[in-house]
Amino acid sequence: MQVKGHVALITGGASGLGEATARALAALGAKVGILDMNAERAEAVATELGGVALIADVTSEESVLAALAKLKEEAGSAARIVVNCAGIAPSARLVGKNGPHSLELYRKVIEINLIGTFNVMRLAAAEMTALDKLEDGDRGVIINTASVAGYEGQIGQIAYAASKGGVISMTVTAARDLSNMGIRVNTIAPGLFITPMFLTVAEDFRKSLESSIPFPSRLGTAQEYAKLAMAIVDNVYINGETIRLDGALRMSPR
Ligand SMILES: NC(=O)c1ccc[n+]([C@@H]2O[C@H](COP(=O)([O-])OP(=O)(O)OC[C@H]3O[C@@H](n4cnc5c(N)ncnc54)[C@H](O)[C@@H]3O)[C@@H](O)[C@H]2O)c1
């Protein structure tokens, strides 16, 4: 599917992997909707890319519906490309120094990473069904973001691993559910990427993380994530798949 002239929605588009993907899509000629809770950054990125800032919470039906309506009105069409990057990654053990894992924190991670992804998928896909079919009989594509933690979560990642495992599990089912509408669903499972999260990490810790990555033995860049997202958009035969993007990294317990 060509990107040029289409509308794209990127959740978590104000930072990190989502921002890089929004930049790549805009460079290829898409009108981008930057959906994020961070209003200041979303406005700044959208203004720079000639896109639309959508201040919304992925976990809320009302908030996402309002964002989709604003994007459709300002961009002139519903999104054909949806990239789900909004997420959080707090860490806590099942039982830690202060007792059992907080149930509230577990629910929050599932709510944002898993239910938020589901919420945006269902509402955006429903809008996509009204769009005309393109030359391959497709109407659009959804790309979700899991994590290698969805396969092998490290110590302290129990909530995060569960949320990302859920995103991986939804992928083929969502692709099957939407197949008769010509909407593809794929997921990228990144390893370790340089995003604002990593800028605060101590140099020696970063080096030890990098040495655990077989090749290339460094953190991935947000642009490399965006390149894979563009390849998924472009190739209509990629569907129902989760693709690891990790330099052959397999996470150790800690
Ligand atoms: N950076 C990595 O190494 C890495 C590795 C594996 C997976 N991931 C996943 O990739 C995605 C993007 O990560 P990143 O590193 O770019 O993070 P980031 O913190 O730079 O960006 C995440 C964005 O999501 C937004 N957000 C959070 N909760 C939201 C909500 N409820 N509604 C709307 N927006 C919300 C934040 O405001 C932020 O702008 C996340 O799902 C993360 O779990 C990242």
Q: Is 189 in the pocket of ligand 1 (CB under 6 A)?
A: no
Whole-number pLDDT of residue 206: 83
Using alpha carbons, select from 76, 83, 87, 86 the residue that is nearest to residue 25.
Answer: 83
pTM here is: 0.98
CATH of domain 7-240: 3.40.50.720
- Cβ burial 63-95 (10 Å sphere, 16+ → b, else e): bbeebbebbbeebeebbbbbbbbbbbeeebeee
Whole-number pLDDT of residue 208: 84
Whole-number pLDDT of residue 203: 82
Annotated catalytic residue within 151, 160, 225, 237: 160
Q: Which of 82, 88, 143, 154 to mutate to test the pocket of ligand 1 (most atoms within 8 A of CB)?
A: 88
Using alpha carbons, select from 128, 123, 120, 130 the residue that is nearest to residue 35.
Answer: 120
Q: In the chain, where are the structural domains located? A: 7-240
Atom of ligand 1 nearest to the CA of 41: 39
**Chain position carrying tokens 């800028």:** 199
Distance, in Å, from the CA atom of 202 to the CA atom of 36, rounded to the nearest integer, reads 27
Active site residue 160: yes
Q: Is 147 in the pocket of ligand 1 (CB under 6 A)?
A: yes
Looking at the chain, the number of H-run helices and the number of E-run strands are 9, 11
Q: Is 16 in the pocket of ligand 1 (CB under 6 A)?
A: yes
Distance 206 CA to ligand 1 centre (A): 19
Please, what are the averages of pLDDT over each run of 10 residues along the chain (254 residues)?
98 98 98 98 98 98 98 98 98 96 98 99 98 97 98 96 98 98 98 83 82 96 98 98 98 91
